[in-house]
Amino acid sequence: MGGLAFASGPDPVFTPRMKPEVYRAMRDRCHKKLRDLFVVVATPIEGPAKTSFGDIDLFVAWEWKDVFPQSKPAPFGASDEDPIDVVCRVLGAIRRKTAQGKEVSVAVPWPEDLPYSEAEPKNESSSDVRMNGLEEEGEQKHGEDEKSVNNLGPRCIQVDIHICQSLDYLQWMLFKHAHGDLWNLLGSTIRPFGLTIDEVGLYVRIPEIEKFEKQKAKVLLTTDPSEVLNFLGLKCTEKEWEEPFASDQEVFEYAATCRLFWVKPDDSEGGSAEIDRRKLKANDRRRMKFRPLFRKWIEEFIPACREAGRFASTPLTRDIVREQAFACFPRLRSDYDSHFIKWLIKKQKVALVNDMIKPTVPSDMGYERRGHCVSALKKIILDGDESFGGIVAPPGLKRQDGLFDEDAVRAWVGNNWRAVMRFALDIQQERRAVRMGG
């Protein structure tokens, strides 16, 4: 939430940005306190060359009382107490805001022994991690908040705690949020090739589904950071994933080692930064406004590479990258085909009702009678309902892959809708008689 979670509302607190020495001292104190509650406590690798921090992000997993119940006493209260309540108490929080799942932002009083200057540095370079990937949360009121921030009190430090359900998930979150906005840069690089990364893992998108439902187009490739790095061609042999990069330029150069990164050479369009901006998706255009590192990547690094003729080789196609993913992740093809077929079946069922069943049943028979008939046909054909007096959908209506033979469905509906209507009306009359008799 970038230090703005408590800047507004009926009972605001002042959470100014922290200088690096304050950030690191407070981060280490929080780590020490939470290690009495959790076996694993960690913070993502910082963004490059940061001169101030808006909040502290902590990822925790494995409560001592659950993993090693006999090895450590429970000094903080009853063993069945909500871990979020315990975390807030241990950190001395005076405010809290709970997000979905096991995520909470707390306001902790600024320690008296840590220096504070009213002229704290403003936001620069890489912005801080946002919980749940909501990059713009609180940003729209950022300017308004900063104008009134000195009127807020008391002075606190915002700490965002993510309680992870497994070590694998904690490892993924540390990876995904490492180096500040690195994955915003890489995300915009891999997206044109049908790949997406989020808080769960790396996905390949099915283009036929993506045209209609973007979120449902995703098929999971992996949740293993090492597999992601290997597939994208990113180095992990030195200290890239052990410590922060020294500068924005180092982040850019590392992101550019992704095997899918390329820069379109100058052409008739001019190849300018303005053209690069116009080609951005809506989410990336918002990042341009609120994420300084991403804006610098688009407006400075990529145009500089274009001018120098760097990374100008012809890129791979989306189809080739998908085939490479099939080869790299053995179970993907089966998952991909299954996901696609399930979506096609769902889409086809809607089309069968709207384009075959409803048009076949005459519209001049009365609204109620027609509705009962259409409903019965849907149950018989789509749900396999066998409770309509022996009228059942023949096996030939469905193919082996689960999709319906549309010609067979159209013919069967045309031949059977009258019998289905008669039985459906009989059922409704029986139900009406029962209600009246009751």
Say how far apart CA 221 and CA 197 lie, in whole Å.
10
Instruction: Lowest mean pLDDT of 123-127, 245-249, 262-266, 296-300, name the range.
Output: 123-127
pLDDT tens-digit series, residues 63-112 = 988 888 765 555 555 567 788 999 999 999 999 998 877 899 999 999 99
Q: What is the pLDDT of residues 255-281, one digit of tens each?
A: 999 999 999 887 655 555 565 666 777
Round to whole Å and give the CA distance between 84 and 171.
Answer: 20
Instruction: Tell how strand 103-109 and strand 156-164 pair up.
Output: antiparallel
Residue 159's nearest CA partner among 15, 14, 19 is 15
Average pLDDT over residues 136-161: 62
Q: Could you give the percent of the chain with pLDDT greater than 90? A: 66
pLDDT in tens, 306-317: 999 999 887 899
Residue of 300, 262, 298, 297 whose CA lies nearest to 277: 298
Position 102 scores a pLDDT of 85
Q: Nearest Cα to 120, choosing from 17, 14, 6, 24?
A: 17
* Greater pLDDT, 357 or 279: 357
- Residue pair 374/259 in contact (Cβ under 8 Å)? The answer is no
Query: 379 by DSSP, 3-state: which?
Result: helix
Torsion-angle region of residue 270: left (phi > 0), alpha (psi -120 to 50) or beta?
left
Is the pTM here over 0.95, yes or no? no
The answer for 281, left when phi > 0, alpha when psi is -120 to 50, beta otherwise, is beta
188-234 confidence digits (pLDDT tens): 999 999 999 999 999 999 999 999 999 999 999 999 999 999 999 99
Query: What is the pLDDT averaged over residues 327-339?
Result: 96
Report the pLDDT value the prediction gives residue 99, as an integer from 0 to 100: 82
Tell me the pLDDT of the chain averaged across its residues.
Answer: 86
Is the confidence at residue 340, as pLDDT, over 80?
A: yes
**pLDDT surpasses 90 at 39:** yes
